[in-house]
Structure 1
């Protein structure tokens, strides 16, 4: 197999063997701790243009199947694994991960010491990196000066509005890189979804006659998306609103809070979160490199509802005087713990109560 190299901005070099596409690749280098769910992760738009490292040592053992996509195609710039399973064993599998990566034009490197690589990212923080066929001074310089990750939402949001089959309730989803699993949880609760591109105006959403708003997950720096903040402020005054991941961060920014970049982010399925009102602890699926700053909440009307146990980062918010809340984690999981999937039930109850109050007014 062809030798390829992962070159980090700090000068570190990790050799390995190429699989998938042989095109060059570059992006922000991150890692996920999930022991399964590689297909969902690779098709999650929140990883758009990043180089995704899997910490679990064997990836691809159950192949790729047509049911577990979170979007229509691979999203990372490249993937890094320790060992690539070449003979998958699962009754749903239609091809191996290597075959699928080739089909998707997705570069990959196997045989990498992902344990050492992950420890380096944890110590130094996420950084830019390149995948190359040869290590030269020019490549090292390019890795040090690389700049990826700007305006990623524009690359992953839907090109036009689309909707699911009619149902009891009608939810407008503002698409910053939505996951299919979020839509699936809404559909399972008799909610039709109307998915809008990220640049849709509040007036256009109102014209679609929706009952509530979902702000989706997505990639990149939330502070870049200033145009959507007044839209969110208008929508939260008119509809029940739930926000997830990037949507949570934008919900916070729209109400005057600030966000900051985490050293190496939260990516995986084993993050313990405490619900402050009840003390309930649940394990969650997370995928984010930014967080809401706790010291920026004063005077915003936002209160913290959930908190990460390991580092105390904010994992949930509620807006006073509004039927609007957000979570940083993914209650849809897919895969991962479903400890907080009941938040979708809470959202539906909020919508039904709002409709009942309007009918009785």
Structure 2
């Protein structure tokens, strides 16, 4: 039985070119980038070159990139360090109800420390209202954190408009771009972004690595205490081979390649919808199918069948999908994103699955998904 992987929003397989780059670096440039001898200088050159490639991908300066252990650390650092560094200017923070848990749990922690957090609601397509954001913005707001694209339903937030709104306000603008980076065109200068988080393993790079973009002039103490790596902004010896692999993955994501993937994934989504409709499956899409969204994510409400049963039967049929974010899918709690969109009493929150496409997804993979899902629904409907 062929095993089909349709959970790329959770993580992606490393590209062969990334593995080769990392292997070469581990073999040849194993020095500590903080050492002053020849081995250290060689590692430092790889580190600097990789930083330049990654900075260029979002139109940032090299010095604005801080390597971290991934999206969670980047999100935690952006929220918590901003809050404590700027609390004399105010203690109000704005975010959304559908952020990743790395943001929501950081926000909850800050509330325990005496900060006030406004959670913007979303509509049935998973979008916030700019009017709601404007209404929530106050003189004492010090940070606005809105994800670029949602990891469960693919909604794409109005990042440019938010940046324009905040460019003359004291609040710093942070965006969690973990799902969007590598698919959408991101320009931190154009969109007036002060802080941005990413993770390498979402773009066929290595796990346990990401970066935090921090605009020049946005200053707070290092979140990780220790040495003076990353220009004293993030302690800990840099993982140079993994960073080189990250840069390799980024280099392969040209503007043309990103547009190509978005178009391909859009076709995949429409194909799945058309095939399920033709097979008589009673379902609805959670979110919108518009071309502006993250096209690699397709969230489906399969009416009358629980998420757990759907996932289990698909897995037995060789198809891996998700019930939501990988960071919460192991729990029995329903998706907070779907609750925010449809309400806690909606059957969608317990009867939905998420497909997410990637670099190596094929139409044959989608055919296997449709076949297994159709058989599952037909069998269970007879009981």
What's the TM-score, normalizing by structure 2? 0.27
Structure having the higher helix fraction is: 2
Structure having the higher strand fraction is: 1
What's the TM-score, normalizing by structure 1? 0.29
Q: Whose RCO is larger (CA < 8 A, sep 6+)?
A: 2
